[in-house]
Chain A
């Protein structure tokens, strides 16, 4: 709780110098994947390996959400049989994974990105189009 508070403080006090957008990677079709190419604006702020690790984990999580496995089939068939009323009480597999992703991003922000003056925005807030990384001005870190 205290950590998120400091994140919010940072947002309020610091000005955003720039925003970097990691676009979607469509080479595997319409599955939600993001490009792992390291943007040049982040070169001075964060390690390339670290960044790629984050994006790769996110990609894996999204792949898990959209996976056509036996679990999703069972869920789909059950839903069809109950005329889709089952979703009134149950959460879909996709939504469960999205919650996992939100937690992962929060954790990454707290541990890795916030100390470096960066902030990841959950792609779901941008319609799964981009991963928005806000770069904060350096003066906030010198406090």
Chain B
């Protein structure tokens, strides 16, 4: 019996090496089932529609809110204000409004549905090769964690490349791991709940076009609704004008509050584009001169126009994840349920094989990993826990707060906190932020019909993570930008606990 088990283990070992790595057990099974597409077993926390053509984040509720707000406001405008304005002023108004509206919708859908630039996870061979290289460099074996950073000199600036424990790769510069979507994204800007997707290399220009055109649309509607009311009140008095067109009041209210936030956001992103920075970098002050005299942005082309052109009109790279390709039967696939847990040693091939001994080892690792995951979860995004790294960017939302006007000014924290804050300090920060967060919520609730605004601010209570001590970046603020600091999604915490329980059950059953 025991021999039989070890023999099957050996079989598993061999099949790992050969290119045709399907075990005798698996091949007949695979032949019977139809070929699956890659999106169906995508390891990240994304939702796919239309057979993999559309890709969104898991939480899409706020995106539907955005859509409803835009559609309702524009619908009211075209139905109630445009007829009057077209007759009294010019029919060009609904035409321009219509064009703007279509552009806004187009760019919104393009931002929400496209792949932001997700980096596919390392294949088991790659991961093993990296770990081997790291072990050689370290001279260590066993459970000592591999070094988390690699330094590279880019255009004269030293940049640290961090190792992503979830994706098992050294992240390229400017890439970041989004803990909401559980993916590494190239040129990660931020995760935008209003758009229901991450904003990264491949959809940043669509996002920018969206907020820019939305600013124009908001200002357009606001201006012409006011004009409409004024013209009407000339004819029949102010109050009767309002009574005659009640929808206009609603539109004015919505547009008034949107204008401040959206225009502010557009301005902020215009600044980011012209200096070739991402929201992530700006919040952390990565290239700020405050860090040092010689600190400059190595990615900037030096010229504002070149930076703008590069961001908006540069070549659009294709998606790296090949959602609609078929899964090759000889490449083992990572089981989606093991998201974010596959850290120390548990490789893809181990999961795809059904060897009993493997499962036992797997379960033990699960339990160990689950026990240590509160620390490790941050590692997957910001691998520095014990060392107060200067990149940790503990709660630097101040900058973004500054650029958003209106209701957001109360949340301004002035200077970004100096990057050398220690973990103990950061423990206090979330609690300090809570009263402010409460204030932001009252703001949010008093203006219930807030247009897509403060991407950075108004979190619904469900989105506020329970700060696990280490989390500096503030529940209220850079929840999404500072993915580096590990936004702790309560949902992921639950799944981790679930997995650890599963691991324990497996252990007991063996």
Contact = CB atoms under 8 A, between A and B. Distances in A.
A68 B122 CA distance: 29
A27 interface: yes
A107 interface: no
Nearest to B320: A127
Interface stretch (A9-17, A42-50, A51-59): A9-17
Contacts of B174: 30
B19 A134 contact: yes
Contact of B318 (A11, A15, A29, A94): A94
A138 interface: no
Nearest to A76: B313
B129 A26 contact: no
A30 B171 CA distance: 11
A68 B312 CA distance: 11
A129 B164 CA distance: 13
Contacts of B310: 68
A127 B130 CA distance: 16
Nearest to B312: A76
B153 interface: yes
A132 interface: yes
Interface string B23-43: 000000000000000000000
A37 to B, nearest CB: 13
Given A12-B20, A30-B299, A77 B313 contact: yes
A12 B21 CA distance: 11
A141 interface: no
A88 B152 CA distance: 38
Contact of B321 (A27, A66, A127, A130): A127
Nearest to B299: A29
Given A21-B126, A84-B206, A26 B313 contact: no
B126 A130 contact: yes
B103 interface: yes
Interface string A63-102: 0011110001101110110011001000011110010000
Contacts of A66: 314-315, 317
Nearest to B317: A94
A21 B119 contact: no
B313 A129 contact: no
Given A126-B126, A129-B122, A67 B154 contact: no
Nearest to A97: B315
B315 A65 contact: yes
B173 A30 contact: yes
A7 B122 CA distance: 25
A75 to B, nearest CB: 8
A132 B126 contact: yes
A51 B316 CA distance: 29
Nearest to A73: B313
B106 interface: yes
B298 interface: yes
Contacts of B17: 15-16
Contacts of B110: 84
Contacts of A94: 315-318
B120 interface: yes
B129 A16 contact: no
A11 B126 CA distance: 19
Contacts of A16: 17-19
Interface string B442-472: 0000000000000000000000000000000
Nearest to A83: B106
Interface string B410-425: 0000000000000000
Interface in B142-162: 152-155, 159, 161
A98 B315 CA distance: 12
Interface in B266-322: 298-299, 306, 309-310, 312-318, 320-322
Nearest to B21: A16
A72 B313 contact: yes
Contacts of A28: 154-155
A117 to B, nearest CB: 13
B172 interface: yes
Given A15-B17, A26-B173, A29-B298, A76 B129 contact: no
A19 interface: yes
Contacts of B312: 76, 80
A95 B306 CA distance: 23
B6 to A, nearest CB: 21
A93 B187 CA distance: 20
A15 B20 CA distance: 9
Nearest to A16: B19
A73 B309 contact: yes
B187 A126 contact: no
Contact of B152 (A26, A75, A125): A26
A34 B154 CA distance: 14
Given A30-B174, A67-B315, A75-B313, 16 more contacts: A11-B19, A16-B18, A26-B173, A30-B172, A65-B317, A68-B306, A68-B309, A72-B315, A73-B313, A76-B312, A79-B316, A83-B102, A94-B316, A127-B320, A128-B320, A129-B126
11 contacts: A15-B18, A16-B17, A16-B19, A26-B154, A26-B172, A28-B155, A29-B298, A72-B314, A80-B205, A93-B315, A94-B317
Interface of B: 17-20, 102-103, 106-107, 110, 119-120, 122-123, 125-126, 129-130, 152-155, 159, 161, 169, 172-174, 186-187, 205-206, 209, 298-299, 306, 309-310, 312-318, 320-322
Interface of A: 11-12, 15-16, 19, 21, 24, 26-30, 65-68, 72-73, 75-77, 79-80, 83-84, 87, 92-95, 98, 124-130, 132, 134
Which 4 pairs, one residue from A and one from B, show the smallest C-beta to C-beta distance? A76-B313, A127-B120, A127-B320, A83-B106
